[in-house]
Structure 1
Amino acid sequence: MNRKRSKQMEPTDKELVQMALDARKNSYAPYSNYKVGAALLCEDGAIFTGCNIESASYPCGLCGERTAASKAISEGHIKFKKIAIAGSSEQTCTPCGMCRQFLYEFAPELTILCSNNVGNFKVNKLNELLAQGFGPASLK
């Protein structure tokens, strides 16, 4: 899903979490049965959703966060403001290490809404979840 919204109509955190919960429905998770949905809000108001996609060759799978971010990047959106992540258990779903590193490339101070299966969420900052992250500035 790609929705273009004006900044004046920016979704609430709860609405963004609901979009992540909805995106989870498209998850392909036949091996782990752990479905994840993500909804990424870009600085210009565009919203991209994604879900996890597993593969029988486990390393080839994609997390929901990277699916949403890849969709945004492939459409020319590289400035991210906030992402909601919803898992399929009672525990809140936090991004894995690979997703933290991937997202750090584009938005070290990204706000992350980590939700459980019913929409209860905690607010985190990416640079807190990935302290002293490695990004473009590290290569200078």
Structure 2
Amino acid sequence: MKKDIQISYEQFKNSTELNDIEKRLFERAKQARENAYAPYSNFLVGCAVLLENGEIFSGNNQENAAYPSGLCAERTTLFWVAANFPNEKVKKIFVVGGPKAVSPEDPPIPPCGACRQSLIEYETKQNENIDLYFSSMNEEVVKVHSIKDLLPFYFDATFL
């Protein structure tokens, strides 16, 4: 039996189409991207997280000469937020990434597979969807209303 999966998402031509909070998250993620430590890949990623209490926190990717020892911006930010605000729900996550040498043709950069799995853990834990936005420096933005939209066959505690 063949089945299909449809994913619903929104696309914005640039940041001027975003609402005020989305614009703030975009700017915070862009700023965080500038501080990324990526001397090996020269691929800089920034992330901003909006909590239910209205606070915004940001982080970036951190590489290491021993490649598996680095960490993506999404997990760096989310793990710090979860460690310091374990009872706050995550409402929105904004990711801005791409090569250090920015090109107008750079597409929106989605989270990698490992980050998608980590993000779904927190969405499942809080039993509430997280809006996820991803972009490159050219400001084209894609928005999904749940991490499940990017990882429809996700693994969670129900399998254990």
> What TM bracket, shorter-length normalisation?
0.7 to 0.9
Q: CA deviation at 1:79?
A: 2.1
Q: 1: CA distance between counterparts of 2:71 and 2:20?
A: 25
- The answer to whether the Cα contact below 8 Å between 1:38 and 1:84 also exists between their aligned partners in 2 is yes
- The answer to whether the Cα contact below 8 Å between 1:18 and 1:119 also exists between their aligned partners in 2 is no
Unaligned runs of at least 5 residues, structure 1: 1-9
CA gap 1:103/1:28 in 2 versus in 1, 3 angstroms: same
- The answer to whether the Cα contact below 8 Å between 2:131 and 2:147 also exists between their aligned partners in 1 is yes
Q: 1: CA distance between counterparts of 2:30 and 2:138?
A: 8
* Structure 1 SS opposite 2:98: coil
Does residue 99 in structure 1 map to residue 99 in structure 2?
no
Out of 130-139 and 29-38, give the one that drifted further: 130-139
* Structure 1 SS opposite 2:50: strand
1:73-112 map, 5 Å: 73-77=82-86, 79-89=89-99, 90-108=106-124, 109-112=129-132
What residue number does 2:68 align with? 59
- Structure number with bigger Rg: 2
Does residue 44 in structure 1 map to residue 53 in structure 2?
yes
Q: 1: CA distance between counterparts of 2:153 and 2:116?
A: 12
- The answer to whether the Cα contact below 8 Å between 2:32 and 2:58 also exists between their aligned partners in 1 is yes
Q: 2: CA distance between counterparts of 1:104 and 1:41?
A: 16
Q: TM-score, normalised by structure 1?
A: 0.85
What residue number does 2:7 align with? none
What residue number does 2:44 align with? 35
What residue number does 2:77 align with? 68
Unaligned runs of at least 5 residues, structure 2: 1-18, 100-105
AA aligned opposite 2:117: Q
Aligned residues: 130
CA-based RMSD: 1.7
Select 2:134's aligned residue among 109, 114, 120. Answer: 114
